[in-house]
Structure 1
Amino acid sequence: MTDSKTPGDKTLSVNPPKTLSLKRPVEQSTVRQSFSHGRTKQVVVEVKRRVPGHEVKEPVPPRPPQPAPAQSAPRPAPQAPAPQRPAGSMLLRTLSDEEKDARQRALAEARSSEAEARRAAEEEARQRAQAAERERQEREAAQARQRQEEERRRHEDEQKRRAETVVRQRDEQVARPASPPPAQQPRESAPSPDQAPAPQPTQYFGRPAPSGPREFTPRPPMRDTGARPPRLDSRPPRSDAPRAPRMDASAPAEPAVARPVRQAPSANTTRNRSDDVDVKAAFRRPGLGAGPGRGPAPAAPKTPKVSNERPRGRLTLSTATGSEDERTRSVASFRRRVQRMTGHRASDAQKERVMREVIIPETITIQELANRMTERGVDVIRLLMKQGAMHKITDVIDADTAQLIAEEMGHTVKRVAESDVEEGLFDTPDTDEALEARPAVVTIMGHVDHGKTSLLDAIRKTKVVTGEAGGITQHIGAYQVTTPLGSQVTFIDTPGHAAFTAMRARGAKVTDIVVLVVAADDGVMPQTAEAIHHAKAAGVPLIVAINKVDKADANPDRVRAELLQYEIQVETLGGETLEVEVSAKTGHNLDKLLEAIALQAEVLDLKANPDRAAEGTVIEAKLDRGRGPVATVLVQRGTLRTGDIIVAGAEWGRVRALIADTGAQVKEAPPSMPVEVLGFNGTPEAGDRVAVVESEARAREVTEYRERQRRDRLAARGAASGAGRSLADMMRDLKEGAGRKEFPLVVKGDVQGSVEAIVGALEKVGNDEVRARVLSSGVGAITESDVTLAQASGAVVVGFNVRAHKEAREAAERAGVEIRYYNIIYNLMDDVKDAMSGLLAPTLRETMLGNATILEIFNVSKVGKIAGCRVTDGTIERGANVRLIRDNVVVHEGKLAQLKRFKDDAKEVVAGQECGMSFENYQDMRPGDVIECYRVEEIKRTL
């Protein structure tokens, strides 16, 4: 447009015009490329013709691409059109510094990218050249191996032909005396001597043919050929196969036939093995010997061997349709053939065995063992078969067998057990430099209603005892108290009821000091003695607190004397056990008790390492409807923090919150501090040890192992109860259990310790006739599943300090299931005993009334026999039980049907009077029989 409108304008513009060029003519053609394994490919080749008159210039290196202005620098604002310049003038725009820098950077980047591309191209070309060189070397090696193979085959064929010729001539010499006369020769005899022989060919198997018959030098016979058996392949030739001419004794030697050059078989020609066999059979037939007196006849020449066999290879479209030359054996095919011939001996010999350290658990599969040794599974099975054990690769073997196999194969073995997953969880030793002082853990123990909780309330200045049902402690509690001296002491309060033995045992295990509370007005009781035994078993020091000294009937000396029976000698009596007379009601000597605790803690020198993973023990566990599983944990070592992953028994979780005994949330719990832990995925068992692990995977591994151990223990317990018992024992148990009655129960409690105590107490209730059977026990409120289980089993649901959900109550009303609530363990046990007592059979007691003697028997129509009797002793009552005694032998027991005095019915007849009596369903009465009259009373039994 510009040129047409302003033809005289010579002004240069910033954007140069498009360069005009002439494209060179291009011709296309196809070329077929050949590859190994008979593969071909057609490619299109473009041929560019050079235009005459154009000279070939030196290649100019490509200019680096100019970056777009939008990428290098901001686009300048549009300017006003340039003013018209006179002809011949030039308008150039000066580049700014930023544009120059951008262009310099673009040029530098282009040069670096070009250099990098050049290096990559050179590296790629070098790799292609190396690959081509390797292919050429492999191809030359394959061709050399093929030539060697062909030469070897040719040499074998030549030796075979020579051997056949020698054998045939030897057979002709042996068979010459037995040859038939000339008259009996077949019609297909050799030509007469006067006939001119055929012209000799110029080639004989690749070399000049002999001019006459060859001389044969016999070799010493290798074996007896007199009785040579017929050859398997010496059958008559086929009609379409070339026949070998038979020779006569007078026939001259036939001319040698030139062997034709082997040609490549056609793709459409099929391989015919029968023709090859026939040709071989025709050449292997022994020729007829010459007549007597003649010399050895020359061997008959072989007919050319025509073989349609093709070399084996991969069948492709190109090989099926093409007419190429004979293909050679590939390198891979030759390698496979060598491996088949050698049986992988060469590769096994060159393979270097790697000896490994094999980790073997308690049980392992054969496949896993082979993988860990990097051996073949069949080799492992072979070694097991040598030991007389037949296994599959998926079978499981024990650690001893696996160790023998691994050591037999030369590997080293490291035995590990399944319990190793718990290794390092607990009791890791600490250095003395890391230990710091920690508060003492004191457990309050003693008999029920001796003032344990009241004493702890007086120390803490709280009123926990007022919140306990029935005024007795039924839960284990943990508190941390600051003494007037400024030191901290952790107290653990245990119940004193006989059912809470396990709680007291747990409290004694986790404590440092035991404070034995004994009431001065009551003395040493059974649970007091039990607490002494727990303290001795735990090996912890004991402090005796004689409580209730403010009462009028208090006698502390009696308590000291009774403690001597249990080998407890207090300081007042010259012993080493500290004892303090206190009063929880008045607060008497509470400061002395705290001083005694501080003194004993100082002697023990209690220390722990707070800068490590926390370890502790579950004091109590419960299931809260709003917060989920809650466990009261006493931290013994380390510091427990929010967010730690903890494991307790078969449960694990991440700490979501830590709540102190005061109800406040804390971020961490140092040693000797009791806290409530939220975050468990299930309710742990009371007494389980708690440990912090590094990851969730480790926590799952430990809990799964512990769950398996728990199932195995339950299975072993069930198997042990039925193992080793004879059939007679099982029948006796079945007979005894048939008459035993069971009282089924479903127990739900607020905390794990209470449920454990209730179940343990119920198992001890009962006798040989009736027993309590706890179908299910758990922590938490009563649910619909509990009601369903009770309905199916006819059980009673017992709730201890828990209530049923609304749905559970409605389901219980519909199903008629009884739900009983308790908050005092005494009442629960008493009600269960009363209910079980109702299942007991009552005791029958006989009371003798009197005796009578039969004087005469009367037959009354429509009534039967009536016995006329005289009462000799006591009283006879109507409807009482009677026995009929004849000759001092009881012949009948039953009830008295009628009792008459004269014609009237009598209620009773006293001694010395006569009466008439009849029995129910019995008529065989005789004069002289004695009748005993007695009454049966039922007495209710109790447990």
Structure 2
Amino acid sequence: MPMKNTNKQKQFLYKPPVVGIMGHVDHGKTTLLDAIRKSNIVDKEYGGITQHINAYQVVYKDKKITFIDTPGHEAFTEMRRRGADSTDIIVLVVAADEGVRPQTKEVIDLWKNSNDKLIVAINKIDKEDAKPDRIKQELVENGVPLEGFGGDVPYVEVSALKNRNIDLLLDTILLVAELNEIDKAPTLENAEYIGEGIVLESYLDHSLGFVSLVIVRVGEFRRGLYVSGGKICSKIRALLNEGRKTVDIADISTPIYIIGMPQALPLGEIVRCYIDEKIAKNQVEESINIQKEKSVEVLKEDILTRLASYVEGEKSRSFNVVLKADTAGTLEAIRRALLKIKVEGVRLAIVRDSTGNIVEDDIEFAKTVNGIVLGFNVKLDPAAEKLSREMGVVTRIYKVIYELIEEVKGAMEGIVEIEEEEKILGEAEIKKVYELSDKTKVAGCLVLSGVISRNGNVYIERNGQRVHQAQITTLKHFKEDIKEAHKGMECGVKISPQFDIKEGDKIVLFKIVKGE
């Protein structure tokens, strides 16, 4: 008898909270999880440092809790971001003998940009040089509103090594989940699929084939049904639990390994479980088409924000491209194809082209010319990827030439269809100019109106005239990095490309919007 989807009526009474264990390298995250699980997992990674995302479930007071262990080293930033995207609660582990470190700050930023609840675990309180009170003050100074310091973020002083206050931490997790209704399972209203999850990790196993670690976020996954995500649809050949044992069903919040995919599922991808193979395949096709449309739209917006002023003597505006390809032959072919694109009102300028992977120098150059980076059949170096996020430089990589050409052409054609206008979001007056040791300049400003935002597009106005266009790369209030500064606030502003700013200049934040 065929299975029927009964999820519309099915109500999960309890949803195990999904908890991310995060923090700086060697602050004791895995040792803490080891104490929680009462197992010995700390020595299973090379050098004792977690290098992959791992997920586990424990039972405490008859209730399940799912834990995700993420690497703390700076090289694993994307893994931590993926972990934060799939959690309900973040446990920030801070060593009582070290305090707030670079990856601690990164986790704080991840939390601020998520809907997760935060719990702080001040670890290693058994050490002689532990100073938990100093750690609390550092956390408050870095934007964590702790309980007892005017905020509502709970903290627990623990010793993972000595197994001290572990029960108190687990009690706090369950309490936060209950108070915020995290432990109430959502209903699945879409009758087309019976489960939904997020991909934490994917890899090729020599005996099992492609394996994907998925956290079930809604509903359930069943062996023998169909899973789709990104451009992939396949039958679930097997489901393995954290102990690598075969199971038939994976319920909500369960970490599960999916076996049987023809290729690795994209990391961070939302995947769904279907009873009907035809519906699953249709959803994949629809997803591919939507992604193509989004890709063109995003590229259009990226180009739009980087359009230079009208070129003197011409009726078009130009945008700059840094082009990278795997070979000289493909580089020349793509260059010619791009320069053949003719769209009235928009001109594409290839300001640099070369073979090889996209590296930091490409990002820095694109930033100086306010351009974008297009790559064909190349990789984005990890250091360059990090720099592109920090500088706000758009990078796009393609595997098929016609897709690159079609997206760029579609984006350019979309731009000229828009009657665009500038919308002023905020203004700030430069009160003082400071020169740093590297000769870059920082503007000490007072916000006159609206808001000034980090990574926002701005122009410098001097005596009523525009003299420079740039992007805000750093925004501080005293020593604290901030996202926005509002009317009446003092702030420190650093822009790129740099310019000979002067006291009395105005920094005007704007965005391009569609006209009415």
TM-score, normalized by the shorter chain, greater than 0.5: yes
Describe the SS at the equivalent of 2:111. Answer: helix
Match of 1:217 in 2: none
Q: 1:653 to 1:577 in 2, by over 3 A?
A: same
The reply to whether residue 680 of structure 1 matches residue 257 of structure 2 is: no
Describe the SS at the equivalent of 2:113. Answer: helix
Give per-residue Cα distances to partners, 1:747-794, cap 9 Å, x unaligned.
Answer: xxxxxxxxxx9844343479xxxxxx99999xxxxxxxxxxxxxxxxx
The reply to whether residue 436 of structure 1 matches residue 13 of structure 2 is: yes
Distance across 2 between alignment mates of 1:691 and 1:665: 20
Match of 1:662 in 2: 243
Consecutive unaligned residues in structure 1, runs of 5 or more:
1-427, 746-756, 767-772, 778-943
The reply to whether residue 446 of structure 1 matches residue 23 of structure 2 is: yes
Is the contact made by 1:759 and 1:774 (CA closer than 8 Å) also made in structure 2?
A: no
Q: Which amino acid aligns with 1:665?
A: T
Q: 1:646-657 to 2 correspondence within 5 Å?
A: 646-657=227-238
Quote how far apart the aligned CAs of 1:719 are: 7.4
Is the contact made by 2:303 and 2:319 (CA closer than 8 Å) also made in structure 1?
A: no
Match of 1:482 in 2: 59
Describe the SS at the equivalent of 2:106. Answer: helix
Distance across 2 between alignment mates of 1:546 and 1:593: 10
Q: Which amino acid aligns with 1:514?
A: I
Describe the SS at the equivalent of 1:626. Answer: coil
Give per-residue Cα distances to partners, 1:521-579, cap 9 Å, x unaligned.
Answer: 11112221221222232222211100111222211111100111233233344542211
Quote how far apart the aligned CAs of 1:473 are: 1.7
Match of 1:507 in 2: 83
Q: Which amino acid aligns with 1:466?
A: D
Quote how far apart the aligned CAs of 1:465 are: 2.6
Is the contact made by 1:430 and 1:609 (CA closer than 8 Å) also made in structure 2?
A: no
Q: Which amino acid aligns with 1:587?
A: N
1:761 to 371, 376, 383: 383
Quote how far apart the aligned CAs of 1:592 are: 1.3
Distance across 1 between alignment mates of 2:319 and 2:172: 58
The reply to whether residue 737 of structure 1 matches residue 352 of structure 2 is: yes
Consecutive unaligned residues in structure 2, runs of 5 or more:
1-5, 312-316, 324-348, 360-378, 389-394, 400-516
Quote how far apart the aligned CAs of 1:497 are: 2.5
Distance across 2 between alignment mates of 1:693 and 1:473: 34
Describe the SS at the equivalent of 1:524. Answer: coil
More helix by share: 1
Aligned length: 330
Q: 1:530 to 1:730 in 2, by over 3 A?
A: closer
Quote how far apart the aligned CAs of 1:609 are: 6.2
Match of 1:702 in 2: 283
Match of 1:466 in 2: 43
Using structure 1 for the length normalisation, give the TM-score.
0.32
Quote how far apart the aligned CAs of 1:516 are: 0.7
Distance across 2 between alignment mates of 1:601 and 1:728: 52
Distance across 1 between alignment mates of 2:50 and 2:71: 5
Q: Which amino acid aligns with 2:82?
A: R
Describe the SS at the equivalent of 2:237. Answer: strand
Is the contact made by 2:199 and 2:270 (CA closer than 8 Å) also made in structure 1?
A: yes
Quote how far apart the aligned CAs of 1:673 are: 0.8
Q: 1:67-146 to 2 correspondence within 5 Å?
A: none
The reply to whether residue 621 of structure 1 matches residue 212 of structure 2 is: no
Q: Which amino acid aligns with 1:453?
A: T
Is the contact made by 1:499 and 1:758 (CA closer than 8 Å) also made in structure 2?
A: no
Highest RCO, 1 vs 2 (Cα 8 Å, sep ≥ 6): 2
Distance across 2 between alignment mates of 1:732 and 1:618: 32
Distance across 2 between alignment mates of 1:556 and 1:511: 26
Q: Which amino acid aligns with 1:525?
A: R
Quote how far apart the aligned CAs of 1:682 are: 2.5
Is the contact made by 1:516 and 1:544 (CA closer than 8 Å) also made in structure 2?
A: yes
Q: Which amino acid aligns with 1:761?
A: A
Q: 1:539 to 1:710 in 2, by over 3 A?
A: closer
Distance across 2 between alignment mates of 1:574 and 1:696: 53
Q: 1:649 to 1:551 in 2, by over 3 A?
A: same
Distance across 2 between alignment mates of 1:632 and 1:672: 12
Q: 1:776 to 1:650 in 2, by over 3 A?
A: closer
Quote how far apart the aligned CAs of 1:617 are: 1.4
More strand by share: 2
Give per-residue Cα distances to partners, 1:447-498, cap 9 Å, x unaligned.
Answer: 1221111111121123333122233222111100122x23211001112223
Q: Which amino acid aligns with 1:634?
A: I
Is the contact made by 2:358 and 2:381 (CA closer than 8 Å) also made in structure 1?
A: no
Is the contact made by 1:497 and 1:527 (CA closer than 8 Å) also made in structure 2?
A: yes
Describe the SS at the equivalent of 1:591. Answer: helix
Describe the SS at the equivalent of 2:352. Answer: helix
Q: 1:722 to 1:563 in 2, by over 3 A?
A: closer
Is the contact made by 1:646 and 1:655 (CA closer than 8 Å) also made in structure 2?
A: yes
Q: 1:721 to 1:571 in 2, by over 3 A?
A: closer
Is the contact made by 1:514 and 1:535 (CA closer than 8 Å) also made in structure 2?
A: yes
Match of 1:492 in 2: 68
Q: 1:775 to 1:690 in 2, by over 3 A?
A: closer
Is the contact made by 2:227 and 2:236 (CA closer than 8 Å) also made in structure 1?
A: yes
Using structure 2 for the length normalisation, give the TM-score.
0.57
Q: 1:344-743 to 2 correspondence within 5 Å?
A: 434-483=11-60, 485-573=61-149, 575-605=151-181, 606-608=183-185, 613-712=194-293, 737=352
* Identical-residue share of aligned pairs (%): 40
Q: 1:434 to 1:730 in 2, by over 3 A?
A: closer
Q: 1:716 to 1:439 in 2, by over 3 A?
A: closer
Match of 2:338 in 1: none
Distance across 2 between alignment mates of 1:615 and 1:609: 11
Describe the SS at the equivalent of 1:459. Answer: helix
Quote how far apart the aligned CAs of 1:684 are: 1.3
